[in-house]
Chain A
Amino acid sequence: MSQFQRFLAKRIGIAAALTLVAVTIIFFTLRLLPGSPFTQLVASGNLSEQQVAEILSLYGLNKPLHEQYLIYLQNLLTFQFGYSIRQTRPVWEILGPKLFNTLILLVPALVTTAVLSTLLGMYAGWKRGSWLETGSIVTTTFLRSTPVFITALLFIIVFSYTLDLVPAFGMREITASPTGFADTYLSVDFLHHYLLPFTVAVLYYSGDFLLLARNGVVEQKGSEFLKLHKAKGLSETEQLLRTGRNSLLPVLTYFALRLGMIFQGLILLEVVFGWPGIGRQLVMSISQQDFPVVQAAVFLMALAVIVMNLVADVLSAYFDPAVTAGGGS
C-alpha cells in the first residue's frame, strides 16, 4: 500500500468508529434519560394495558436494552428509521423532503459565498491596509460572529415588514399546494420566498471564506515565489491569481467541513424563516417528543459531519503530501 492508501484506510476506519460512537451516544441519551414520550403516553392513562403492550412491541421497546441497541444499529445501517410517533408515517417519508428543502437552500448559498467571498478576500489581502480590507473584515466579522437568527430578524424587519419586498415566512404561499418537483421548486413564488433566507445564509458564511483567502494571500506577499512572478513581468491581476491559486487548498477543505455542518448550522435560520427543512423539523420533533424522528435527524446531521470531515482530510492529504508524511493526525 502506498502512503496515501494507508492514510486513507486509517481515516476511513476512524470515521466508521466515530459514527458508531456517535450513534451509541444518541441512542443512550434518548433511552436512559428520564421522561421519554413512551412513559408519557402510558402515564396519560387513556390506553388499556393491552394497547400499551402493543405500542411498546411495535417500537421494539419491550425487548431488553441491548437487543434494542442492536436492532437500532442494524436499522441505521440500512437507513431504516422506523415510524414517527406523532404522524403515522415512516420517519424517512417525513425527513426526506425536509432534507431536500435544506439542501436546496444551503448548498447554492454555500457555493455562492465560497466563490464570491474567496475572490473578495483575495483582493482584500492584496490591497493590504486599504479601507476596502478593513471594511470587508469588519463587515464579515459582524456577519459571522453574530448569531444567524439575529441577522435574519434584522433582515426580516427591513426587507419584509418595512420595505415589503419579500415574504418573511415559509417556502411557498400558504395557499399554494404544489404537486411534483418542478411545481414545488421552479416557480416565481418559490423564488420570492427563497431570496431572503438565501441572502442571509450567503452573508453568514461569507466571513470565514473571506478571511481564509485574505490570510492566504497576505502570507504569500513578499515571498520568493511572488518576486519571481513580478520579475517575470506578470501583470498585477496575474500575480494575484497565481498567489490565490496557492491558497485555495485551505478554502477547499474548509468548504468540505462547512458542507458537513450545513444541516445543524442553520437550524435557527430555518426556524426564523419558517423554512420547512430538517433543522426546523428537528426542533418541532423535539418539542413533540417524537423520538424516532429526532434520532434519525440527529444521526443524519452527525453522519454529514463525519463524512465531510473525512472528505476534507482526504482532500488536503491528496493535494498536500506533507500531511500524509506526517502521519496525518
Chain B
Amino acid sequence: MSVDSVEPVRSWLRSGVDRVASNLRFIAGDTPAAVGFAVIATFAFLGVFGPVIAPHDPIRYSVQTGQGTIARLNAPTLAAPFGTTAYGKDVFSQFLAGARPTFIVGLFGGLATGGVGFLVGLVAGYFGGTVDEVLMRLTDLTFSLPFMPMALLLLTFVQPNIWVITAIVAAFLWKMPARVIRSEVLSVSERTFVRSAKASGAGHLRTMFVHVAPNVLPIAFLYTAYGVAWSIAAQASLAFLGFGDPTTTSWGRMLRQVFASGSIRVAWWWVIPPAVGIAAVTTSVFLIGRAYEEVINPEISEQSQ
C-alpha cells in the first residue's frame, strides 16, 4: 500500500480516537453520566462473560446443605453469596448468566430501533411529499397499535425466544427515532450546503447520506441508546408476564419466578440482584442520554450558564 492511501485512514483513525477521547472527557465531567457509563461498562462485561464466570450452571446445579439436602430459599451464605431460590438454585450464578439475554435483546433491539428509525426519518424528511406522508402515516399506525398488548398477542402464537422478542421490540419502537430524525432532517435540508450539493448535481443517495445524514447522526446515536433501554425494559416486562424465552435464565425471568412462586414475601435476596440490575442499566442509559441531549439540543445548551 502506498503512503497516499494509508494517510487518510490514519487521520481518520486519529480523529476517531480523538472523538472517543473527547466523548469520554465529556462523560467524566457529568457525574450522573459518569456513573451511568461505569454501570453500562460492567453490564456489557457481564453480557459477554457472565455465563462463563458464573460458578455454577444457573438451572441444572442445585446448592446442597451440609446435610446433603437441597438448600431452598437460603439467605446469602459463603456457599451461595446471593442466597438460593425456592428450587435450590444459586441466585449469584443465575444473576451472572441472566445478564446475557438481557444484553443481547438490549443491544440488538437498540441497534434495530435506532437503525430503522434513522432510515425512515431520513428518507421521509429528505424526500417529503407523498413519501413523507406514507411513512408518517405508518409511524402513526405503530403509535396507535398498543405495544404491550400486541406483543403479548404475537407471543401467544409464536414460541418466544430472544430473537423473536428483539424483532417485536424493533417492529414497534422504531417510530420514536423516526419522528425526531425526520424533523431534524427537515431543518437540515433547508441549509445552504445541502441546497448547493443538490444544485451541483449530487444524486439523492449521495446528498442524503453524505450531506444530510452526518448532521442527524448524533440524534440517531442518542435514540439508539434509548432503544437499548426500551428493549431491555420490554424484554424484562414480557419475561415477567411469562412471555419470555422459557429456555434461558434472564433477569426478567428470575423476577417472574420469585413473584409467581410467592417467595417474594421472604426472599429479598432473590429479588434484589435482577431488579437492581435492570433498573441500574436502563437508568444509566437515560442519564448518559440526558447529558448528551443538553449538547445536541441547542435551545437547552445555549442558555446554560
Using a CB–CB cutoff of 8 Å, the interface residues on chain A facing chain B are 14, 17-19, 21-22, 25-26, 29-30, 33-35, 128-129, 134, 137-138, 141-142, 144-147, 149-151, 153-154, 156-157, 161, 211, 215, 218-223, 261, 263-265, 267-268, 271-272, 282-283, 286-287, 289, 294, 297-298, 301-302, 305-306, 309, 329
State the CA gap A327–B168 with chains docked (Å).
32
Closest B residue to A149 using CB positions = B240
Interface of A is mostly: helix
Q: Are A153 and B264 in contact (CB under 8 A)?
A: yes
Is B304 an interface residue when CB atoms closer than 8 A count as contact? yes
| In the complex, chain B residues whose CB is within 8 Å of the CB of A154 | 271, 275
State the CA gap A14–B138 with chains docked (Å).
11
Of A145, A271, A287, which contacts B283 at CB under 8 A? A145
| In the complex, chain A residues whose CB is within 8 Å of the CB of B220 | none
Of A14, A272, A283, A305, which contacts B152 at CB under 8 A? A283
State the CA gap A218–B304 with chains docked (Å).
8
Q: Are B149 and A150 in contact (CB under 8 A)?
A: no
Q: Are B144 and A305 in contact (CB under 8 A)?
A: yes
* 18 further A-B pairs in the complex, CB-CB below 8 A; given A138-B32, A263-B146: A18-B141, A22-B141, A25-B145, A134-B32, A141-B290, A142-B283, A146-B283, A149-B255, A153-B255, A161-B265, A218-B300, A220-B303, A264-B149, A271-B240, A298-B150, A301-B146, A306-B144, A329-B132
Q: Are B144 and A142 in contact (CB under 8 A)?
A: no
- Given that A29-B153, A146-B278, A218-B304 are contacting pairs, would A268 and B140 also be in contact in the complex, using a CB cutoff of 8 Å? no
Closest A residue to B236 using CB positions = A147
Is B136 an interface residue when CB atoms closer than 8 A count as contact? yes
- Given that A138-B287, A150-B279, A153-B275 are contacting pairs, would A145 and B145 also be in contact in the complex, using a CB cutoff of 8 Å? no
Is B191 an interface residue when CB atoms closer than 8 A count as contact? no
State the CA gap A157–B271 with chains docked (Å).
9
- Given that A137-B290, A305-B144 are contacting pairs, would A150 and B278 also be in contact in the complex, using a CB cutoff of 8 Å? yes
Query: Which bucket holds chain B's interface residue count?
Result: 35 or more
Of A142, A161, A298, A305, which contacts B279 at CB under 8 A? A142
Q: Are B283 and A272 in contact (CB under 8 A)?
A: no
Is B148 an interface residue when CB atoms closer than 8 A count as contact? yes
Listed by A's residue number, 24 A-B pairs whose Cβ atoms lie within 8 Å are: A14-B140, A17-B137, A18-B144, A22-B145, A137-B290, A147-B237, A150-B236, A150-B255, A153-B255, A153-B264, A154-B271, A211-B290, A218-B303, A219-B303, A222-B303, A264-B146, A265-B148, A271-B240, A283-B241, A286-B153, A294-B153, A298-B150, A305-B144, A309-B143
